[in-house]
Structures are given as C-alpha cells and as structure tokens.
Amino acid sequence: MDAAVHELLRGKLCALGVAVRDGVLAGRLGKTGGELAAVAGRGGGDTIYAVDKFGEGAVKDWFRKNWPADMPVQVVMEGLEGELCFPEGVAAGATQWKCIIDPIDGTRGLMYDKRPAWALAGIAPQRGEETSLSQIVAAAMTEIPVSKQWRADQFSATGDGGVVGTAFDLVRGTQESIAPAPSQAKDFRHGFASLVKFFPEGRTLTSQIEERVWDQLGGVGASASPEVFDDQYLSTGGQFHELIAGRDRMVGDLRPLVFRALDMESSLACHPYDACAWLVLERAGVVFEHPLGGFPEAPLDTESGVAWVAYANEDLAALMRPVLQKTLREFLP
C-alpha cells in the first residue's frame, strides 16, 4: 500500500513540476532580463525576484485544482506568509503530508537567460516540526529551460522504486523516456568536480579547502594542463542533474560549515527546499551525504542550512571522502 501511495505522490509531483515549468515559460514571454530580475521581496532566507512570482503562482494554482482532497497537505516554500495547506482551509496540524518546494531553483541564471533552472519538490509524512529531509518518500525535479532550449528533462523517484526520467520536446509536444547515467569513473582526472562558491561570501576559505583536497589527491600543479575542472551551476537542482547525467563526478556545498567557521551570518546557503530532490540522486546511484559523514539531515523548513557532498559513484566517494573530511577538520575546527 505504501509503495502505491508513494508512486501516486511521485506522479503528482511530476505534474506539479510540468505546471510550474509551463507557468514560468509563459510568464516570462516578452520580458527583459532586467524586468525578470526586479527585486520583489525577501523570504525563506533568499531574495525573491520578479520571475519567482510566476513559479509561486503556478504552485498555488496547481494545488487548488489538482491535489486530492483525501490527502491533505501542507506546502512549504519561500515567500509564503503564514501556512499554506490544501484543501484550502485545512490547518497544518490536520494534514497528512508535508510538501517542500522550490518552484525555481536557479532563479539568477534563468532570469538572465544564462542557464536552466529547476522546479524541485519533495514530500514526506506530516510530523510537524519534526518532519525532515530524510523522511521524504517521493521527489521530482523538472527542468525550466532557457529561451533557446527545445528540450527539458525531468527526473523523479520514490524510496520504493527506481528513477523515472522523461525528456520533453517543447517544440513538438512529445516526450520520451531517459535513464540516469552517473559517471562510472574511478578517479577525478579529466572530469568536473567542484565545491560551491557562487558568491563572494566565504569564497576564499572554500577555495583554500578545495585546493588542499586536490593537492592531496593528485598534486596541484603536477601537470602543465589542469586535470580537474570546476563548474559553478548556480542551482542545486542543476548540480544534481549534472551528477545524474554523468557530466560531474563530485559536487559539494560547504557553505553552512564555512559561514559558521567565519562567524558569518549569511542566508546565501543551500536550504532544505534546494536539496529536497536528494532521493532522486540516491536512487540513481549517486552517493549523497554530509561532508563530515552521515546524512545531511535538516527540518523541512525554509531557513535551515544544508551542507552536502555528492559523488557520482562509490569508488569516487571512497577516494575523496577521507581526504575531504581530514581537510575539513583542519580548516573548520
């Protein structure tokens, strides 16, 4: 019974992702990057831009029209004022499920038409404030493409099954199945592997940690031509996709740890809504964990920081994990 319910939830989250994608694509038509990048407010520890409103509106509209009345749900996402539950009028304490959503993960790249964003959603049994990332039973991540892009991917999973992948042809209106294909490389040579340093805050310390790790793994400057490549995809969902698609071998986000070490108050970190599709990674065979070991647990809220690292396979994890953890203990006492 649980597996059937989880599969139903997975399908709902996929439909939600498509609705958000289409709502954002329709909303941005005819608008400039400057218009989409207008600051609309703050919420959930992040800046809310004009383009974000298209995603938020699509979420609310979809839930009103499509969520089963016999499965009351609380929706958690940035920018909300008060509780948001469906059917409308139901109190959070009376809901069965908690669904955490990032309608547009990668807003900054999308609003300037630089790189796709992702609509992310994960759902867990309602346990009030005790509901956490590890309790998510179904998740979906749906690509929101840039204007020149004809294909948009979607990956979803439940804890009971495998990954379901779909490639949507947005020109022809067709779709086909695609399979996750994480890298099976045994080392990091001639591949992409990165630690997050999107913004100036904490960048110097993160770069020092990263350089020390690579020096221990292979020797920085050992080759005239660098053998490990860096990519800063300003979207956690986008980074997850690079791992699932076999383009990245490792991605790590140390920002909560770095900010704490620097005694820096910053909201520019990964939050639970950014990492809510972790289940898709795990079911695809990617190793997802806290940089210091264990699962990167966090409540399903909009404020908590989530430090994580993901390796494309177990061999890469075994190679880098001890070096990274040793380095973190040295730099982040």
Q: Are the beta carbons of 180 and 310 closer than 8 angstroms?
A: no
Q: CA 202 to CA 258: how far, in whole Å?
A: 6
* Architecture in CATH of 2-178: 2-Layer Sandwich (3.30)
Task: Please name which of 255, 293, 252 lies closest in space to residue 271, comparing C-alpha atoms.
Answer: 255
User: Which pLDDT belongs to residue 105?
Assistant: 95
Helix (H, G, I), strand (E, B) or coil at 195: strand
- In angstroms, the CA 90 to CA 98 distance is 13
Please give the DSSP secondary-structure letter assigned to residue 210: H
> So what's the pLDDT on residue 44?
56
**pTM of the entire predicted model:** 0.94
Q: For position 218, what pLDDT does the model report? A: 84
The per-residue pLDDT string of the chain (333 residues; one tens digit each, 9 = 90 and over) reads 599 999 999 999 999 999 999 999 999 998 888 888 898 877 656 788 888 889 999 999 999 999 999 999 999 998 787 899 999 999 999 999 999 999 999 999 999 999 999 999 999 999 999 999 999 999 999 999 999 999 999 999 999 999 999 999 999 999 999 999 999 999 999 999 999 999 999 999 999 999 999 999 987 767 767 789 999 999 999 999 999 999 999 999 999 999 999 998 876 899 999 999 999 999 999 999 999 999 999 999 999 999 999 999 999 999 999 999 999 999 997
Domain boundaries, the chain: 2-178, 191-331
pLDDT reported for residue 175? 97
pLDDT digits (tens, 9 = 90+) for 162-193: 999 999 999 999 999 999 999 999 999 999 99
What would the CATH number be for the domain defined by 191-331? 3.40.190.80
Question: Which pLDDT does position 81 carry in this prediction?
Answer: 74
CA pair distance 325, 292, nearest whole angstrom: 6
